[in-house]
Structure 1
Amino acid sequence: MPLYAYRCGSAGFTCADFEVQLAMGSAPASLPCPSCGAPARRRFTVPNLSRASSTAYQLIESTQRSASDPAVVRSPGPMSGTRPAGNITTNPLHRKLPRPD
């Protein structure tokens, strides 16, 4: 849902601008100011558009989340991805390569 910005027009009060999240197309031309109750007119602002992909947004959100609530690892996981000892490969395509005598 989009955010709609409103500015209070009362002369005697120092009210701050406020934003309201409403369904698209349902925002009225004026709303009562939450501070003083005077009618606040809707402001037209620049739309919040971005060229970043949703993957980039997920990365940014997970980074912000981890800054305030880091994931703590209590013990190392099982050793599932261990390599075989020596220079032995497990790739089946390497079986077709010539071997030294």
Structure 2
Amino acid sequence: MPLYSYRCPDCADFDVQRPMGQAPDSLTCPGCGKVSARRFTVPNLSRASSSAYRLIESTQRSAAEPAVVRSPGAGAGSGPANITTNPLHRKLPRPD
């Protein structure tokens, strides 16, 4: 459903969600009760793809409900998998 914006002459702006084409030209303000005129705003369009939306939703969902790992995956803890044999890598600084 679209979101319609109204401007109260005394209070702040407020939004109302109504079915398409069924929003009146004026409503009473929920704060003070005065008549508020509907105002024109830009549509809320996004150019993001559906995969971007899925990523955003999963990130928001994981903030409140993080995935719980009960055990390490297969092969974890068996030591470093990528050991280099390049002698120049020995000269690189190592973390303490």
Residue among 49, 65, 73 paired with 2:45: 49
CA distance in 2, matches of 1:50, 1:38: 34
Written as runs of structure 1 = structure 2, the 5 A alignment for 1:66-81 is: 66-73=62-69, 75-76=70-71
What is the total number of aligned residue pairs between the two structures?
A: 74
Tell me what 2:79 maps to.
none
Unaligned residue ranges in structure 2 (runs of 5+):
75-96
Percentage identity across paired residues of the two chains: 69
Runs (4 or more) in structure 1 with deviation over 4 Å come to none
CA distance in 1, matches of 2:4, 2:37: 10
Establish whether residue 9 from structure 1 lines up as the match of residue 9 from structure 2.
Answer: yes
Q: Secondary structure at the match of 1:70?
A: coil
CA distance in 2, matches of 1:65, 1:18: 28
The higher radius of gyration belongs to 1
Written as runs of structure 1 = structure 2, the 5 A alignment for 1:1-101 is: 1-10=1-10, 15-73=11-69, 75-76=70-71
Superimposed CA distance per residue, residues 25-59 of structure 1 (whole angstroms, 9 cap, x where no aligned partner)? 11100111000000111111111111111221121
Equivalent position amino acid for 2:4 in 1: Y
> Cα distance, 1:8 vs. partner?
0.4
TM-score (norm 1): 0.65
> Cα distance, 1:6 vs. partner?
0.6
CA distance in 1, matches of 2:19, 2:13: 20
- Name the Cα RMSD after superposition: 1.8
